[in-house]
Structure 1
């Protein structure tokens, strides 16, 4: 039985006229696509393509198989749509809440994968500063919301109708101006090493960060600039300009627009957990499918070892 992925590769080459252009369309490298085509030729027991300096053309056997392959792929696509209708994934709207860091760096590829698999479901995205996204889920403003919590921190009560599923745990790390003495060493810096350092602070009164800021203060870090709103891009820009050091989530540090030095802290006791909030008291196929995609995508990025 022929692999549908290889059949789709052959059809793409037939339409593009070259393996290179087909690879670009499918998101493969040309060598990887060539391997798929070679396997298909072995399955077929005959040559399907003739390579030439301008690209590739189908042999008679290739023409025959492409015609059949198009029918097979059309049937599979139709089956996908019919299964989506049975699962409640044909039409309707999936409303997703997020916060800036996740909305910029983690959510787009998950949204893209969901849209490719279920193009009939309309997507809506709205920003909520945590933990307000949880309340938005509870009252039905959105179907899902990405939110976060810091450790150490007092736990925030969650409505009984809302489930909260952790999808990513990341450490908080030190960011400094490029070339700063503290970032010249890649080993973990004990929190006591922050004593006397000017700190670009997320302001002690910010509820989500209160306990983290208090711990930094007890370690002897001295606030030099207060940023009372959750704006990590601004924090990293101030650090990059030499106005102090800061403690931010690793994802923020690694994706900062302005250049910063990065160093792990302590024993990893400062953390941020990103979770997805969802209504636990209703059946929602689109939301459940999206949560599964989130688990896979977030699990491959920025996860704290051993978390």
Structure 2
């Protein structure tokens, strides 16, 4: 049996994406070209490998033989990726396109400034920035449409790292509760029930932390205003719409608000997930360097009155005893380094 290994990679892409169109996007081909390669592979092995249109929306289901060869394709892909990494280590050459996904606001700004860092330090790379939410971003990372994903997370309920990918924590900060400055400053969580709140989407880090906090202390808002993104908060807080739970560094810039000393369990994280390729690894390191530069700049200009905890530390995916979430598609000026 003479199998073209390139067609095994096509089959693996079909298995990953679940549709011919999805596989075509991953491979940079047309759906018809993917279909032709699949047909040729079936002729090479003399058996059916996939059932087209087996599900809705053009889904493809692999046969038992197809699953066997798809696993071989995945092993081949992993071997080639590792060979690429080792070659880059030997030659010092990393080149080609790399796609960085990030959420809106400051994360997208971080991704954009990382492009400048890469232009300076890795001019042989061709970076591209894509704005995306966590759910679609994780799916695109798994499928290879993204090489690097910058996302916010919650340490107590971290998002699952896609299979075959890696993750680093670059920022870990405490949560704080801020209230309008015309309220009497509350000393306990119980004083915040029956009051208006500015909340966040349930699947966001702040939303997950608020649900945990509310359950622990029996806090029920009288009304919920909702900010889809944490960087939308300053305007709502400035107008004294209610109490808010957010990362400590984000509360630094609030106006017309008092940051309380009420304890909140958990930590807000900024995580960078990436595929195990030399280009993605280089981009991940550039994200970290850019974060340090932004942090130093923000402290120097007074945008942040306290140090920003930019770190490189063990990721929740490497720790036991944490609830991994699966979602649908202090001090002196200066920067703390880890």
Superposition TM-score, scaled by structure 2 size: 0.52
Matches within 5 A, 1:232-251: 232-251=230-249
**Correspondence for 2:271:** 275
CA RMSD of aligned residues (A): 3.5
Displacement of 1:202 after TM fit? 1.7
Alignment match of 1:128 (pick from 127, 132, 146): 132
Displacement of 1:162 after TM fit? 1.3
Distance 1:190 1:252 in 2: 21
Distance 1:111 1:207 in 2: 26
SS in 1 for 2:130: strand
Contact kept, 8 Å, 2:149 with 2:274, in 1: the verdict is: yes
Distance 2:111 2:183 in 1: 32
Structure 2: give runs of 5+ residues left out of the alignment.
1-87, 296-307, 311-329, 331-335
Q: Deviations over 1:210-264 (max 9, x none)?
A: 542323434325152342x6223444322221221211223433356xx353525
SS in 2 for 1:182: coil
Distance 1:273 1:267 in 2: 17
Displacement of 1:296 after TM fit? 4.1
Matches within 5 A, 1:34-45: none
Alignment match of 1:217 (pick from 208, 214, 219): 214
Displacement of 1:297 after TM fit? 4.5
Alignment match of 2:167 (pick from 164, 171, 186): 164
**Correspondence for 1:261:** 257
Alignment match of 1:289 (pick from 272, 282, 287): 282
Q: Deviations over 1:175-211 (max 9, x none)?
A: 334555439xxxxx653453443211225x4465554
Residue 104 to residue 175, structure 1, CA distance change in 2 (3 Å) = farther
SS in 2 for 1:159: coil
**Correspondence for 1:74:** none
Q: Deviations over 1:283-306 (max 9, x none)?
A: 32x322222233344468421869
**Correspondence for 2:93:** 88
Structure 1: give runs of 5+ residues left out of the alignment.
1-82, 184-188
Matches within 5 A, 1:1-307: 86-90=91-95, 92-104=96-108, 106-153=110-157, 155-178=158-181, 180-182=183-185, 190-203=188-201, 205-206=202-203, 208-218=205-215, 219=217, 220-227=219-226, 230-254=228-252, 259-261=255-257, 263=259, 265-267=261-263, 269-280=265-276, 283-284=277-278, 286-298=279-291, 301=295, 302-303=308-309
Superposition TM-score, scaled by structure 1 size: 0.56
Contact kept, 8 Å, 2:176 with 2:262, in 1: the verdict is: no
Count of matched residue pairs: 211
Q: Deviations over 1:46-90 (max 9, x none)?
A: xxxxxxxxxxxxxxxxxxxxxxxxxxxxxxxxxxxxx99943335
